[in-house]
């Protein structure tokens, strides 16, 4: 069953990944839809999607928007085309800069949403092994808190983290 399950989930993801953006809630919606469509487990679908992203078989991030009618003009298209092999700074950073990924993820957190450190690493595209070091950086202190009750580190919207710290729920 292993190979057919891989092909089923992989085929579904490659055919449908573009329907969702890159927000953590979109990632969860993608996983839920994959589970519903393929009948696999949530854990397996999540692992397979991460593996496909890591292998470069599906893009990590928001889907590329469809070209506008103006770009169908050959003269306009030639003027807008970058040199072969050239990528933008943002694209380069989104591929290799863990702090760029972390900052983009943290700035997208909605008020009232909290993520455990490992979950945030997966959602941001940061290796789990580097999560503590990356998210522990001083520049992200406003987004970070540690639960007093169980010592778990959480990331969330700065206003809500500060409120939870004032209530002594987080430190």
Same domain, 31 and 103: no
Same domain, 46 and 99: no
Domain residue limits at 157: 85-166
Same domain, 104 and 152: yes
For residue 43, is it within any domain?
Answer: yes
Q: How confident is the model at residue 155 (pLDDT cuts 50, 70, 90)?
A: very high
CB distance 49 to 42 below 8 Å: no
For residue 66, is it within any domain?
Answer: no
For residue 26, is it within any domain?
Answer: yes
Structure tokens at 42: 């949530």
> In whole numbers, what is the pLDDT of the chain averaged over residues?
75
**Structural domain count, the chain:** 2
For residue 127, is it within any domain?
Answer: yes
Structure tokens at 84: 């072969």
Distance from C-alpha of 54 to C-alpha of 145, rounded to nearest angstrom: 29
Distance from C-alpha of 42 to C-alpha of 39, rounded to nearest angstrom: 9
> What predicted TM-score, i.e. pTM, was given to this entire model?
0.48
> What are the pLDDT digits (tens) for 75-112?
444 445 555 667 777 777 666 677 888 888 888 888 88
For residue 69, is it within any domain?
Answer: no
Q: Does the pLDDT at position 139 exceed 50? A: yes
């Amino acid at each position: 069953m292993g190979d057919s399950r891989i092909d089923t989930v992989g085929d579904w993801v490659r055919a449908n990944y573009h329907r969702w953006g890159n927000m953590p809630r979109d990632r969860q919606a993608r996983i839920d839809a994959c589970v519903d469509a393929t009948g696999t487990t949530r854990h397996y679908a999540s692992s397979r999607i991460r593996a496909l992203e890591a292998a470069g078989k599906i893009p990590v991030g928001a889907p590329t928007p469809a070209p506008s009618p103006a770009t169908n003009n050959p003269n306009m298209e030639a003027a807008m085309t970058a040199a072969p092999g050239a990528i933008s700074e943002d694209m380069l950073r989104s591929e290799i800069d863990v702090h760029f990924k972390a900052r983009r993820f943290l700035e997208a957190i909605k008020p009232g949403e909290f993520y455990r450190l490992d979950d945030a690493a997966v959602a941001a595209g940061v290796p789990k092994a580097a999560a503590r070091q990356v998210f522990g950086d001083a520049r992200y202190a406003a987004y970070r808190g540690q639960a007093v009750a169980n010592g778990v580190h959480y990331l969330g919207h700065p206003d809500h983290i500060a409120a939870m710290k004032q209530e002594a729920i987080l430190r």
